[in-house]
A and B are shown apart, each in its own frame.
Chain A
């Protein structure tokens, strides 16, 4: 789950950078940048859930 979270974080960043390069008009560009940030937040939640479910604690 943590790996999936990390991949989502990276995917969100790629969306942000792609939005800057691909959209000249501010409206769609801003929307896609925010969407990329949203994907990153999902990835962050997933990464946290992954670590919370399996804390590496030696018993």
Chain B
């Protein structure tokens, strides 16, 4: 039997198989976003998602990966009080430093192309029905070219958050084995920034902040998307843990189990809460509870027992359910897909939960969360605010009145549908 080349060790082979499954997470997420939006913006949502994934992949490979780098690679460091703080990688642009033999690095780049695509889809969900296609592409370029690589370097590229353990004795440094912070919270905070900048949909807050419900147009898409996301998410959590946190392939079954249980607990928590509060379970909130459990599992999946994963997922489901209501009814944030609650709130909870359940980790996790809120949020808000000054991100009155499909694409997603006159009545 011919032995495998040295580069193809078991972790690399396992990661290769896992990375190939990750696009299912993107597909399911796109389907959910589209189902939670309106019929008149469905084609726009699908094309916007495809464009965001494409722009994110291209910009990340041309620019982003050079900022992110790999652990142990060359980087810009700052010496503060005798400790070296690694701030930014110093790699060549356009992936010029990659060689065919560097299998592990190449695999990490491929995984990150999918990961940054997933992060780019999160703001699209929040900006549905009013975010211009071209503006979302520019915003995605900023995310993939700067915000995401910067934080990813700090966590996965041997940056200062990963060094908190060696520099200051804070456990093993900031732990984010599955991308709860790097992918989900970064995407969720970008979604919040975008929603703050483009404002709510017309007719959403009509009288003194009262918010009439604008339900999603296809709940079957939403629920099927939630199911489709699961295998991709298991693969994402496991591949990230192997490639970025040094987990052995033997840990894959536990990570998969924790991911499934956390999602299940999040979903059931949302089902129960909506059943108790509204007399009937709410399908879209239950799907968001499922997603919240998945997001939280990205933080804890590699480090806790299955029972703890259930508890973390359950709390994530509860947080998502109440956060959706808080954002919409109290804080006047119009987030059609619940992206901010699912990705930012559940992600932050998952990262903090690692601090609760892994001994010696609590302060490192708090520092990581503080960096997401205190630096990443102002950074992404500032970048999108500047973009809005140069290139307005919100569509005009006609775009919202006609729907983004007709306005930007010239054709609807469902041309055989009867269009009712009340669709065009201004509220």
Contacts and interface: CB of A to CB of B under 8 A. Distances in A.
A and B assemble together = yes
Chain B binding surface, main DSSP class: helix
A39 B329 CA distance: 25
Interface residues of B, number: 32
Interface in A39-59: 40-41, 43-44, 47-48, 51-52, 55-58
Interface in A2-52: 2, 6, 9-10, 12-14, 16, 20-22, 29-30, 33-34, 36-37, 40-41, 43-44, 47-48, 51-52
A33 B363 contact: yes
Contacts of A30: 363
Contacts of A9: 373-375, 377-378
Given A16-B367, A33-B363, A40 B205 contact: no
Contacts of B394: 56
Contacts of A13: 370-371, 373-375
A48 B331 contact: yes
B196 A51 contact: yes
Contact of B374 (A12, A20, A22, A34): A12
A55 B332 contact: yes
B366 A57 contact: no
Chain A binding surface, main DSSP class: helix
A55 B205 contact: yes
Interface in B342-376: 363, 366-367, 369-371, 373-375
Contact of A36 (B202, B330, B374): B374
Contacts of A21: 80-81, 83
A58 B377 contact: no
B333 interface: yes
Contacts of B200: 55-57
Contacts of A12: 370, 373-374
A6 B370 contact: no
Interface string B114-130: 00000000000000000
A52 B331 contact: yes
Interface in B370-404: 370-371, 373-375, 377-378, 381-382, 394, 397
B311 interface: no
23 contacts: A6-B381, A9-B375, A9-B377, A10-B378, A12-B373, A13-B371, A13-B375, A14-B374, A16-B374, A20-B164, A29-B363, A33-B370, A36-B374, A37-B370, A40-B373, A41-B373, A51-B331, A52-B333, A55-B199, A55-B332, A56-B198, A57-B205, A58-B397
